[in-house]
């Protein structure tokens, strides 16, 4: 791939955005990056068609405990039976030349093990968020990928999503003037018997799963790292869903410049993911901000009103992140949301839980 002058200019502007991603449009390459998808749950069902829509990525292997399901998907994606693995024989993937990278779409607490095993097998790793369930695992994942000389990217969709990038660019370009405050929230009403309410698998409640979007958004919107964090957590509904993890978390953060942010997350109520950013010259809102489609940016600053619904449809966000990671793999570039980005969120999540009196 060759970067055009325009690509370089974009790169220059956007990398000011504290590691926020330039949308580099990958050129068709001779060899597509082949992915083994580990865990064939809901989110893999978005990633696989997303990757298929790219010009530089393809699904070449599956890892699952459910052979029937894997067989069905393999047929759909033209994956040979010999490239279907289970959790016992997973390490044999090292000998599969069709697999360049893995996409880790397992329950949170299994991210570390499979990232590290994939790295040892010599495969690059695109790992879902949250990166892990604690800081130590995140550090071990980074170390394992470094030792194996493979790339590690955390699948922060919003870093590669045009409406979120547009919000960041408006802020960096000064449209809002000095930013003062942000609100953000994201949650939903959790069904019964989900692995996400099993602390061993999930690490915690909505903060790990959806609150992380608000946390990460406050960081990319400001381009700063939170310096102070205070939080409360609660469980109101005692109906069996929340015997292990919290139901609600509310937290406030203060950034080095003085920008403040207040956030909520819940597993007990429908809570559209959104943020509002308030600057001296006006405000912008993305609502919804964190869903797979239907994003909308509105803003009002210096006499300008914006209302920009994003017509993109799922799985475009997964396409964009697959494209970016494959581009990095093919051109030996560091991903815009590397392991270190996930590690930082793990640190802040730990602080939030500690402030709320919850051990993780």
| Contact residues: a second copy, CB under 8 A | 176-183, 185, 187, 189, 228, 230-237, 247-254, 257-266, 268-272, 276, 278-280, 282-283, 300, 355
- Enumerate residues 6+ apart whose C-beta is below 8 A from 355: 229, 230, 231, 251
The distance of closest approach from Cβ of residue 345 to a second copy in the complex, given in angstroms and rounded to an integer, is 19
The distance of closest approach from Cβ of residue 20 to a second copy in the complex, given in angstroms and rounded to an integer, is 21
Q: What are phi and psi of 78, to 5 degrees?
A: 65, 35
Please tell me the distance from the alpha carbon of residue 22 to that of residue 13, in angstroms, as a whole number. Answer: 8
If the CB atoms of residues 90 and 267 are measured against a second copy, the closer one turns out to be 267
If the CB atoms of residues 231 and 328 are measured against a second copy, the closer one turns out to be 231
If the CB atoms of residues 53 and 180 are measured against a second copy, the closer one turns out to be 180
Helix (H) / strand (E) containing 75: helix 67-77
Question: Looking at the chain, which runs of residues are DSSP E strands?
Answer: 33-38, 57-63, 84-85, 101-104, 124-127, 152-154, 179-189, 228-234, 248-254, 260-266, 268-279, 282-287, 296-301, 304-309
Please tell me the distance from the alpha carbon of residue 56 to that of residue 319, in angstroms, as a whole number. Answer: 10
The distance of closest approach from Cβ of residue 169 to a second copy in the complex, given in angstroms and rounded to an integer, is 19
If the CB atoms of residues 181 and 312 are measured against a second copy, the closer one turns out to be 181
Active site residue 129: yes
Please tell me the distance from the alpha carbon of residue 63 to that of residue 83, in angstroms, as a whole number. Answer: 8
The distance of closest approach from Cβ of residue 294 to a second copy in the complex, given in angstroms and rounded to an integer, is 14
Residue 308 buriedness (CB in 10 A; 0-12 / 13-18 / 19+)? middle
If the CB atoms of residues 39 and 273 are measured against a second copy, the closer one turns out to be 273
Helix (H) / strand (E) containing 122: none
**136-156 per-residue burial string, b: 16 or more CB within 10 A, e: under 16:** ebbbbbbebbeebebbbbbbb
Residues 103, 213, 220, 292: which is the catalytic one? 213
The distance of closest approach from Cβ of residue 325 to a second copy in the complex, given in angstroms and rounded to an integer, is 34
- Enumerate residues 6+ apart whose C-beta is below 8 A from 173: none
If the CB atoms of residues 162 and 177 are measured against a second copy, the closer one turns out to be 177
Active site residue 348: no
Please tell me the distance from the alpha carbon of residue 98 to that of residue 96, in angstroms, as a whole number. Answer: 5
Beta strand 101-104 with 124-127: parallel, antiparallel or unpaired? parallel
Residues 103, 129, 292, 353: which is the catalytic one? 129
Please tell me the distance from the alpha carbon of residue 195 to that of residue 76, in angstroms, as a whole number. Answer: 27
- Active-site positions read 129, 213
């Amino acid at each position: 791939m060759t970067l055009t002058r325009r690509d370089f200019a974009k790169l220059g502007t956007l990398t000011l955005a504290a590691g926020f991603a330039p949308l580099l449009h990958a050129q068709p390459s001779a060899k597509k990056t082949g992915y083994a998808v580990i865990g064939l749950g809901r989110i893999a069902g978005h990633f696989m068609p997303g990757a298929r829509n790219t010009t530089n990525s393809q699904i070449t292997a599956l890892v699952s405990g459910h052979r029937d399901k894997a067989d069905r998907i393999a047929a759909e994606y033209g994956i040979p039976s010999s490239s279907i693995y289970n959790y016992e024989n997973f390490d044999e993937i090292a000998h599969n030349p069709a697999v360049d990278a893995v996409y880790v779409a397992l329950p949170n607490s299994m991210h570390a093990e499979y990232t590290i095993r994939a790295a040892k097998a010599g495969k690059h790793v695109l790992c879902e968020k949250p990166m892990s369930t604690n800081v130590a695992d995140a550090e071990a994942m980074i170390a394992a990928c470094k030792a194996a000389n493979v790339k590690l990217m955390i699948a922060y969709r919003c870093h590669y999503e045009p409406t979120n990038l547009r919000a960041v660019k408006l802020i960096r370009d000064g449209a809002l003037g000095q930013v003062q405050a942000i609100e953000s929230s994201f949650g939903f009403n959790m069904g019964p018997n989900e692995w996400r309410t099993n602390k061993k698998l999930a690490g915690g409640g909505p903060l790990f799963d959806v609150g992380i979007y608000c946390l990460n958004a406050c960081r990319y919107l400001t381009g700063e790292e939170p310096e102070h964090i205070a939080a409360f957590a609660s469980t109101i509904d005692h109906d069996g869903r929340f015997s292990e993890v919290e139901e609600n978390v509310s937290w406030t953060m203060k950034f080095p410049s003085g920008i403040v942010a207040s956030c909520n997350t819940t597993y007990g109520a429908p809570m559209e993911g959104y943020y509002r950013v308030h600057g001296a010259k006006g405000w912008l809102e993305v609502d919804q901000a964190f869903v797979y489609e239907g994003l909308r940016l509105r803003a009002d600053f210096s006499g300008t009103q914006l209302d920009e619904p994003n017509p993109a449809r799922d799985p475009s966000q997964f396409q964009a992140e697959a494209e970016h990671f494959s581009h990095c793999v093919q051109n030996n570039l560091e991903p815009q949301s590397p392991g270190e980005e996930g590690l930082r969120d793990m640190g802040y999540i730990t602080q939030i839980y500690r402030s709320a009196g919850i051990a993780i």
